[in-house]
């Protein structure tokens, strides 16, 4: 009997989209099941379509993308042209069949899982002072946060949700709104050149995700 011979890629299994999640309201990470071929098709933003699930979901386009900085990346980040909206499993990412290849040349198969546009809770983007004013701290979050009443436990206007530690005791007297994702803390006790740390607890974004 003659031996049976043949050729193959060596990998055998086609890659899939393992997960999709948003890093910020305007960026989404697409994670593949295995290392992929870094080529023009992978870096072409037009090959990735973000599809909303309906209802009040906002349609967003992919403005550009960033791939993991290796020869065979396992994820790409889609940078969107606007912010996503929240809702259980309300977005999917569609990639044309056989456009992307794994490191062994097998074409991508299947569709992406859906994901919530709200994703992770807000994080602190920056804390700043205006010049030498030691009485006001401006806190900017990565997402819009609740600003309804300082009496609500999950509200960004509640002074008890902020703690400042450092070389001197600092009290937070009040919190006022500056913008959808920004508040100003009126404080006392800061000293020049002091190194302080701000901790935020309980504050939620407008989709009920708690601060990271």
Q: Are residues 131 and 87 in the same domain?
A: no
pLDDT at residue number 101:
94
pLDDT at residue number 176:
97
Over range 122-142, report the average pLDDT.
89
pLDDT at residue number 48:
94
Distances (CA, A) of 68 to 25, 30, 65, 148: 20, 11, 10, 40
Q: Are residues 78 and 136 in the same domain?
A: no
- Sequence-distant (6+) residues with CB within 8 A of 193 are none
CATH number assigned to the domain comprising residue 86: 2.60.40.1220
- pTM summary value: 0.53
Q: Which of these three, 79, 94, 109, is where a domain ends?
A: 94
Give the number of domains in the chain: 2
Q: Which of these three, 37, 72, 94, is where a domain ends?
A: 94
Q: Are residues 182 and 134 in the same domain?
A: yes
Q: Are residues 84 and 142 in the same domain?
A: no
Domain that holds residue 142: 124-200
* In 49-120, beta strands by DSSP E: 49-52, 62-67, 75-80, 91-94
pLDDT per residue as tens digits for the range 164-201: 999 999 999 999 999 999 999 999 999 998 999 999 99
Domain membership of residue 162 (yes or no) is: yes
pLDDT at residue number 5:
32
Q: Are residues 78 and 128 in the same domain?
A: no
The alpha carbon of residue 186 and the mean position of all alpha carbons in its chain are separated, in whole angstroms, by: 29
Domain membership of residue 182 (yes or no) is: yes
């Amino acid at each position: 009997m003659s031996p049976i011979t043949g050729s193959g890629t060596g990998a055998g299994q086609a890659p899939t989209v393992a997960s999709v999640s948003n890093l910020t309201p305007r960026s989404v990470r697409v994670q593949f099941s295995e290392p992929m071929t870094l080529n023009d098709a992978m870096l072409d933003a037009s090959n990735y379509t973000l599809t909303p699930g309906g209802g009040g979901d906002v349609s967003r386009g992919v403005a550009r993308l960033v791939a993991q900085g290796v020869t065979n990346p396992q994820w790409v980040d889609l940078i969107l042209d606007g912010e996503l909206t929240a809702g259980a499993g309300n977005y999917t990412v569609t990639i044309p069949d056989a456009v992307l290849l794994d490191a062994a040349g097998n074409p991508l198969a299947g569709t992406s899982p859906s994901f919530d546009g709200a994703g992770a809770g807000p994080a602190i983007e920056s804390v700043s002072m205006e010049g030498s004013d030691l009485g006001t701290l401006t806190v900017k979050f990565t997402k819009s946060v609740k600003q309804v009443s300082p009496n609500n436990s999950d509200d960004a206007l509640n002074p008890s949700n902020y703690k400042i530690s450092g070389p001197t005791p600092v009290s937070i007297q009040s919190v006022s709104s500056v913008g959808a994702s920004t508040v100003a803390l009126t404080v006392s006790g800061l000293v020049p050149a002091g190194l302080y740390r701000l901790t935020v607890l309980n504050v939620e974004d407008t989709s009920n995700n708690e601060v990271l």
